[in-house]
Amino acid sequence: MPFSSRQRIHLYLLGLLLFGSLASAMKTEDFKTCSQSGFCQRNRLYADDAAALGDAFRSPYAVDADSLHLSLEDTAHITADIINKNADKRFTMALTFLQDNTVRVQMNEKDPLHPRFDAHAAHTLVKAPVAQAPQAVDRTQDNQVTMILDASRKVIVTLEPVKVDFLVNDASVITLNDRGFFNFEHLRTKESHKPKMIQQQNDDGTLEDVQHAAEDTMWEETFKSWTDPKPNGPESIALDISFNGFSHVYGIPEHASTLSLKETRGGDNAYTEPYRLYNTDVFEYALDSPTSLYGAIPFMTAHRKDLSAGIFWMNPSETWIDIVKTKSSKNSLAKLLDFGKKEVTTTQTHWMSEAGVLDLFVFLGPTAKDVLRQYTSLTGTPALPQQFAIGYHQCRWNYINQKDVLEVDQKFDEFEMPYDVIWLDIEYTVEKKYFTWDNTKFPDPIAMEKQLDDKGRQLVAIVDPHIKRADDFPVFEVANKDHYFVQKPTGGDYEGWCWPGQSSWPDFFDPKVCQWWQSLFAFDKFVGTRENVHIWHDMNEPSIFNGPEITMQKEMIHHGNWEHRNLHNLYGLLSFAATSEGVRTRTKVPKRPFVLSRSFYAGAQRYGAVWTGDNMADWDSLAMSMPMILSSGLGGMPFNGADVPGFFGNPGPELLARWYQTGVFQPFFRGHAHIDTKRREPYLVDEPYRSITRKALRTRYALLPYWYTLFYDAFKTGTPMMRPMFMEFPQEEQIFAMEDQFMVGDSILVKPITTEQTTSTDVYFPGEQPWYDLETYQPIYHHGYRTVDAPLEKIPAYYRGGRIIPRRERPRRSSAAMALDPFTLMIALDKKSNAEGTLYLDDGESYDYEAGTFAHTHFVYNKGILTCDSLHADGASAGAQAFAKKMSSVRVERLVLMGTHRQPNRVQLLTKQTTLDLAFSYHEAVSSLEIRDPAVSVVECDWTIRFDF
Amino acid sequence: MPIILGQHLYKPDGQQQWTCLDQSRTIAWSAVNDDYCDCPDGSDEPGTSACPGTFFYCENKGHRPAYIKSWSVNDGVCGKESCCDGSDESNGLTQCPNQCKAVAAVYAKELAEKKKFVSEGFAIKQRWIKEAEEKIAQWKLERTGYEDDLVLKRGLLQRFQDEVTLLEKEEQAQSGDKKPTSHHKSEARKQQMAKLHDHIQQLREQVDTLVSILHDLKRDHNHNYHDMAVKAAISGYDEFLPGYDKLYEDLDQEPLPEEDDLDQDDADQEDVPESEGNPPPISASFWDSVTSRLEKWLPKRQESQNGAGFYFMGENRKQRPRNEQHSLFFFFSLVLVALQSARQQRDAIQSEINSLESNIKDVKGKIKADYGPEKEWLQLKDTCVEKDDGEYIYSLCILGRASQRSHKDSSNVHLGDFDGYVGGEGAKAYLEHTHLHGTRCWNGPERSVKAIFECGSETEILDVMEPEKCEYHFRVRSPAVCPSPESLDPPKAHVHEEL
């Protein structure tokens, strides 16, 4: 019976009641589940079939022993053919042994129908990996080859079925094809393809041969109204990787998920979908979900008490990762080698990519920092940003005109809130034609930028990769004429819908398109910009409003006739790189570019910052910012931040204040707001929230010297600025999954308040050393959880005992204004009354540091003596000398010793020329000592300060 | 050490020491202005940036001395927020040239201009204040007039009301089976109700169709398409739906009366007044009293109203009806006519009273309304000014309505009606006006305007901004906010923001 209209409405209302809370949330049906993505479904079925067979299952892939070739001395790799016995297909395998505990494993079809895509490595890897031969090879075992890398590390290749084990101290820590899910879909023609048949029992009991479910998606697949023609048929690659004895794995950003990744095949607190890596613009994304977001980095780290190890699955096509954890591993080797009596958890992962070749790196740590160093030595370390980029950024969709921009700028000064950068979203353009200015709103952008520059401030303007198809738009005309756009399979520009309406997308996979794109940022091309203008590059997943999953159809064609499906996740990286390079080279002497991208892939850390996209102004999103940024850092992309105080919706003043307090301790710190929201610049909130927010902003600025040093360390080593607790305290198992508190560098612990109406919180104090309250200097001698007060004005944050942290205390309007301000050294004593720390300084904008124009100073407090020494490799170089001269007037104006239980008799400054008594004051209640104005240099270490207790 | 205003406060004592201005500490004289903050109140560093939240004194020779925020000292920034003599930048980060001469010239020019328009504006404002006083005095007179009239009219009303009351009583007493049309009436009502019922049903169905269309739109649209029109439709739908359903619940709880109910209603009504048998006979004395009462006003009415009943009145007023049945009917007609007439009379007076009362209310409202401390806004009330920004023409009627007209389609959008003054405390209280409850935005709030006034020699909109969706800021100049020109005479030194 058809419903009457009234009945229908009641049904709708019922629906609204049931699903009302989702009314404004993510539309999950717009995005594929694994079962809607053909290759994911096929490989999950493969895994399920294998699991169903249990011990009877045997992987059909085996190394052809005759083909085994070792060329270890020169190129340090072994090659062999692998045969798929079921399909009678040959594959090539290559293991390359690299410096720094790294091994590369590559597999490809031996004689493919046509080449498979592997051209992405050049965009992902920063340089050719450096080989390092194993110490020895052992072929005495029948079915295996053993490479001895060094005293504690080995790689064992089992020939049949093929399996690779990575051993540390004779225990396998990582196993490839442990469960036999390795599945390499070889290229084939539809005509030659023999569908896999299975027997099916009909209702009447008869048996019938029917096609296996995996056959459904081989040659075409349909999602919603889009049909992917899949001209190459099936071409996926899958492999299972076990992390033996590890109960925690991390990384593979970007997901709004937990720091310690969840299981994905059901069960308690587990997802039922795999983690997905497929760059997409998800509107109001769901929290606690394995669905893909704007960025994709297929790099995973596993950690346990004694060891960290990692995997980089270098493949930019759509990728899914299943994770399960098993107690008392089935891994025979692990059993054999025995982890002791206690039950052991092993994390088993299953990686599935749609196309390309298998190319993975195994990093054997042994620490999480080592794994990141190993990964970033391949994909590049995070770029050292300009100083201003780590200050506070003020954005809104949209500051509506020139006057608006300058008024907001003025208000920050009026309310004495520091900020460095004001941002323009898409509305500054003429009809979203990037590189143009709407002159009715911005009659004289150069004058506006000059005015900001006079205060040491910057402007960021948005330039997205979608190009409006408009004949009066020169950028479009050139790209159209010269065929710079991604093409349709049938030829002609691909067209889609985005902000400007009908648009096309430059093919950044084409080097000449990148050249052209870079040239557009020249000051005479992007008229109305000058040196203090930087770029925001959004929507580069690419976001296409009328495309499947809000992005580009996979059959579209890139340079070299490659289908988009091969390199989808790379697109954002390529456009980010081209934009960053354009900004870098627009001046005669290149300056460090600042570009913020929304999409990213492995290697994006070389080009600038990213953010967590369009989040919500609610408490849960504030809490989610922590695992998201931490995971990003574990993906080698540490310069990340969440929009403060949430993009969509209007935050209350408490949420706003708490979010600012959190943002202070996250690497990229930007206020942003959706166009439909109320204005919420931090000076607009009422007291006491305004003062609380001002205090938070000033805390950020006071810590800029420390932050900048951390960015330098990241640039040198790949260690993220914002770190998960386990990275600093790898032995404390109870904090392996901790994501609601974190470390800034190795010296500051932060536990942001992310719940409403909170006045106290439980902070976990790890390690054996004391901690000191950031504000009161009150020492905390405690290991484990302790409840601390956290009223609205308080951010629970602590200095770590044993560290020296540089600060600049003078409130200023911007970071540029602080350039010559004096320093305060916070000396947080450990139990033995020792401490040390570093400070990196340079001009904050140029590449002169490459020529040694910087200072890198190491402060040591030991047995009552404070000294420093330079970490500069070539302190005598002209660059170092020039910088030292520039900094000659910059002094240390204050020392704060925390955790000293006695008042000294005297404190003396000793230099070559003189000995001087320094004034000091002792605060017994908190055991801290303040030394007045020693006036020593932070660059020239020609002084000693002696404390006589 | 820069020169400091109140320099007498900065002198060492005999021991070459100095006491912080808050008396909290005594420090070495050498610690004053040594770029290290010793005093809790920051008073020891008036010449450096060492103490946050304090002020730095600029001598500004050639212009006027000034205080700038200590955070501006040695921050590499020259210009408006710094000393024009450049004395606040000394650490080599930048060098600010001494621009005091040029700044002084500009300042003098601006000050002269300002003085001119402030004087002009202030004069206009004074005139307006005077005019406003006159106007209010006039309104007060008006009010008194209305109030006197009202007393008069209320007396009249009482008289007619008494008349009506009496006639109503008689009419009620005499009405017998006076409902010959009641059945017809109920038939007509039934038909009307049925028609309305059908109409409502029809409308319900149409609304339901629209609701289901919108529901489908909400469910099926591609939200990533970011089509503002679609988003607006959906949010409108979301807002509409709860109210709509509530309406239905209410209606369903009170179902439309069915036909049987209608009959029943009529039957009930008929039951009450109808008495058994014949009406009571009319006494001679009552007849006399009725006719005499009617006489007073009936002749006047004869000219305009041509009822048959009136004809008999004049000729045979003393005659008694020939038979009871006939006379009863005739009399009843007379009573009805008299009643109708008396009611009309009463209602006419009532409406005059109503209009007087509303006039009084209006004029009282006008007198009582807030036109500013000196009623300077009164003369501007409903003065409308416009600003054309190329895309729209914005219009602001002071203390009235604000609107926006599009150049493209000349559509007119209501931006809000005057709601109040929100400038803040004291003299600033009247510098900002809010206009609220304009047309609701697509997917957004009701439009509103904040008009921010500054002194000018005429009333004009300087510019219009929409800092967030559907909230407009008008910057407006008007004599109404001009201060007295004397107030422009500068103090000796100033804190920069208040220039």
- Classify strands A915-917 and A854-862 as parallel, antiparallel or unpaired: unpaired
Please indicate if any CB of chain A lies within 8 Å of the CB of B40: no
* Chain A residues within an 8 Å CB radius of B38: 932
Same domain, B301 and B168: yes
Are A461 and A529 spatial neighbours (Cβ–Cβ below 8 Å)?
yes
Q: Which residues contact B297 (CB under 8 A, 6 or more apart)?
A: B341, B342, B345
Contact A368, A350 (CB under 8 A): no
> What's the CA gap between A276 and A259, in Å, rounded?
15
Q: Which residue has the tokens 């969706």?
A: B469
Side chain identity, residue A107 = M
Q: Are residues B229 and B295 in the same domain?
A: yes
How wide is the angle at C-alpha A149 spanned by C-alphas A144 and A154, nearest 5°? 45
| CB contact A813 to B (< 8 Å) | yes
Helices (H), A808-896: 878-886
Helix-helix angle B182-220:B228-253, to 10 degrees? 140
Residue in chain B nearest A808 by alpha carbon: B50
| 3-state secondary structure (DSSP) of residue B221 | coil
Contacts of B212 in chain A (CB under 8 A): 5, 8-9, 12
- C-alpha closest to that of A441 among A525, A535, A528: A528
**pLDDT per residue over A738-793, tens digit each?**
999 999 999 999 999 999 999 999 999 999 999 999 999 999 999 999 999 999 99
> Is the C-alpha dihedral spanning A548, A550, A556, A562 positive or negative?
negative
User: What percentage of residues in chain B have a pLDDT greater than 90?
Assistant: 40
The sign of the torsion formed by the CA atoms of B368, B371, B377, B383 equals negative
Same domain, B406 and B327: no
Top-confidence residue, A436 or B67: A436
Which domain covers residue B66, as residue numbers? 1-98
* Spans in chain A with pLDDT lower than 50: 1-23, 329-330
Task: State the Cα–Cα distance between residues A264 and A275, nearest whole angstrom.
Answer: 7
Beta bridge partners, A277, equal A319
Exposure on the CB side of residue A59, measured as CA atoms within 13 A:
24
B185 membership: H or E segment, kind and range: helix B182-220
The complex's ipTM works out to 0.85
CB pairs under 8 A between A and B: 108
Closest CA to A621 of A654, A583, A596, A647: A647
Q: Kindly write down the DSSP assignment for every residue of A79-141, as one continuous string.
A: EEEEEETTTTEEEEEEEEEETTTEEEEEEEESS-SSPPP-TTHHHH-SSPPPB---SEEE--S
Q: Are residues B336 and B386 in the same domain?
A: no
Q: Which of A593, A471, A587 is nearest to A537 (CA)?
A: A593
Nearest CA to A315 out of A49, A104, A601 is that of A601
- Set A281, A464, A614, A713: catalytic member: A614
Burial A226-263 (b: 16+ CB within 10 A, else e): eebebebbbbbbbbbbbbbbbbbbbbbbbbbbbbbbbb
Q: Which amino acid is at B385?
A: V
Over residues B81-96, the mean pLDDT reads 89
Q: Are strands A358-363 and A307-313 parallel, antiparallel or unpaired?
A: antiparallel
- Give backbone dihedrals phi and psi of A766, rounded to 5 degrees, phi first: -85, 170
What CA–CA distance (Å, rounded) separates A160 from A82? 10
Strand pairing category for A779-780 and A803-807:
unpaired
SS3 B181: coil
A538 tagged catalytic: yes
Q: Does residue B135 sit within a domain?
A: no
- Helix H or strand E encompassing B241: helix B228-253
Which of B497, B498, B499, B378 has the alpha carbon at shortest distance from B72?
B497
A614 is catalytic: yes
Can you tell me the distance from the alpha carbon of A575 to that of A279, in angstroms, rounded to the nearest whole number?
A: 13
Length of chain B: 499
Number of domain units in chain B: 3
| Chain B residues inside the 8 Å CB shell of A677 | 468
With CB atoms and an 8 Å threshold, state whether B50 touches A497. Answer: no
**DSSP 8-state symbol, A430:** B
**One-letter amino acid identity for A544?**
I
Question: Distance from CA of residue A745 to its chain's centroid?
Answer: 16
Residue B457 within any structural domain of the chain: yes
Phi–psi pair at A784, nearest 5 degrees = 105, -165
Same domain? B191 vs B68: no
* Residue of B77, B208, B226 lying closest to A456 (CB–CB): B77
The predicted-structure confidence for B477-494, as pLDDT tens digits, reads as follows 999 999 988 887 765 555
Contacts of A503 in chain B (CB under 8 A): none
CA A455 to chain centre: 32
Q: A822 and chain B: CB distance < 8 Å anywhere?
A: yes
Residues of chain A contacting B74 with CB distance shorter than 8 Å: 820-821
Residue B23 identity: Q
Residue B205, by phi and psi: left (phi above 0), alpha (psi -120 to 50) or beta?
alpha
The pLDDT assigned to A21 comes to: 38
Please check whether residues B281 and B229 belong to one and the same domain. Answer: yes
Overall average pLDDT of the B116-138 stretch: 94
From A281, A538, A643, A713, active-site residue: A538
Question: Element (H or E) spanning A209, and its range?
Answer: strand A207-211
Neighbours of A582 (CB within 10 A): 25
Q: Give one DSSP letter per residue of B419-433, joined into a string.
A: EEE-S-SGGGGGSEE
Is there a single domain that holds both residue B343 and residue B414? no
Taking CA atoms, what residue in A is nearest to B225?
A: A545
Query: Would an 8 Å CB–CB cutoff place B15 in contact with chain A?
Result: no
Whether B182 is in a domain gets the answer yes
Closest residue on chain B to A454 (Cα): B77
The predicted model gives B103-119 an average pLDDT of 92
For residues B394 and B464, state if they share a domain.
Answer: yes
Phi/psi of residue A563, each to 5°? -70, 150
Coil, strand, or helix at residue A733? helix
In a domain, B32, yes or no: yes
- DSSP SS3 for A37: coil
Domain membership of residue B243 (yes or no) is yes
Q: Quick check: is B42 in a domain?
A: yes
Q: In terms of DSSP bridges, do strands A865-870 and A854-862 run parallel, antiparallel, or are they unpaired?
A: antiparallel
Query: Using CB atoms and an 8 Å cut-off, which of residues 220-279 of chain B contact chain A?
Result: 222-226, 238, 241, 245
Among A381-385, A463-467, B227-231, B322-326, which stretch is predicted with the lowest mean pLDDT? B322-326
Nearest to A5 among B81, B212, B241 (CB): B212
Q: Do residue B327 and residue B395 come from a single domain?
A: no
Q: Which residues of A touch B69 (CB under 8 A)?
A: 416
Q: Would you say A497 and A545 are in contact if contact means Cβ atoms under 8 Å apart?
A: yes
| Residues B2, B62 share a domain | yes
Give A627: exposed, middle or buried? Use CB within 10 Å, 0-12, 13-18, 19+: buried
Integer Cα distance of B488 and B116 in angstroms: 11
Apex A508 CA angle, A506 and A514, nearest 5: 100
At CA B364, angle to CA B361 and CA B368, rounded to 5? 135
- Local structure of A803: helix, strand or coil: strand
Q: For chain B, what is the largest distance between any 2 Cα atoms, rounded to a whole number of angstroms?
A: 131
Provide the 3-class DSSP secondary structure of residue A907.
strand
Evaluate whether A98 touches A132 at the Cβ level (below 8 Å): yes
Domain boundary at B289, B324, B347, which? Answer: B347
Q: Which residue has the tokens 């300009």?
A: A386
Q: Which residues pair with A154 in a beta bridge?
A: A148, A167
Q: What is the pLDDT of residue B247?
A: 76
Tokens encoding A698? 């000033």
Helices (H), B254-389: 259-271, 284-304, 308-315, 324-368
All domains of chain A, ordered by start, with CATH? Answer: 38-187+217-379 (2.60.40.1760), 387-704 (3.20.20.80), 822-949 (2.60.40.1180)
Q: Give residue A118's pLDDT.
A: 94
Is residue B358 a part of any domain in this protein?
Answer: no
Give pLDDT tens digits for B419-448: 999 877 877 889 999 999 999 887 778 999
Give a yes or no: residue B175 inside a domain.
Answer: yes
Tell me: pLDDT of B288 over 60.
no
Residue of B nearest to A440 (CA): B390
According to the model, what pLDDT value does residue B225 have? 66
| Domain final position from B76, B98, B120 | B98
In this structure, how many other beta carbons lie within 10 angstroms of the beta carbon of residue B353? 17
Q: What per-residue confidence (pLDDT) applies to A311?
A: 98
Same domain, B398 and B477: yes
CA pair distance A447, A436, nearest whole angstrom: 16
Strand partners, A858: A838, A869
Tell me the residues of chain B between 171 and 210 that have a Cβ less than 8 Å away from chain A: 204-205, 208-209
**How far is C-alpha A218 from the geometric centre of its chain's CA atoms?**
34
Q: Which residue has the higher pLDDT, A243 or B348?
A: A243
Residue A192 CA: distances (Å) to CA of A113, A187, A569: 12, 10, 31
Angle at A108 between CA A102 and CA A113, to 5 degrees: 165
Residue A164 CB neighbour total at 10 angstroms = 24
The residues in A 369-428 lying below 8 A from B, measured between CB atoms, are: 400-401, 403-404, 413-414, 416
Tens of pLDDT, residues B361-417: 999 998 998 999 899 999 999 899 999 988 899 999 999 999 999 888 878 899 999
Count the neighbouring beta carbons within 10 Å of the beta carbon of residue B322. Answer: 9
Is B465 in Cβ contact with A404 (below 8 Å)?
Answer: yes
CB pair distance less than 8 Å for A5 and B444: no
Strands (E), B12-136: 17-19, 26-28, 55-58, 66-69
Note whether B167 and B292 are same-domain residues: yes
Return the pLDDT at B290: 58
Q: Does A550 touch chain B (CB under 8 A)?
A: yes
Please identify, among B67, B98, B129, the residue that sits at the C-terminal boundary of a domain: B98
Alpha-carbon gap, residue B420 to B434, rounded angstroms: 6
In the numeric block, the tokens 């079962």 are attached to A35
> In angstroms, rounded to a whole number, what is the distance separating the alpha carbons of residues A434 and A504?
13
pLDDT > 60? residue B289:
no
| Chain B neighbors of A497, CB-CB under 8 A | 225
Tell me if B69 and A679 make a contact (CB, 8 A cut-off): no
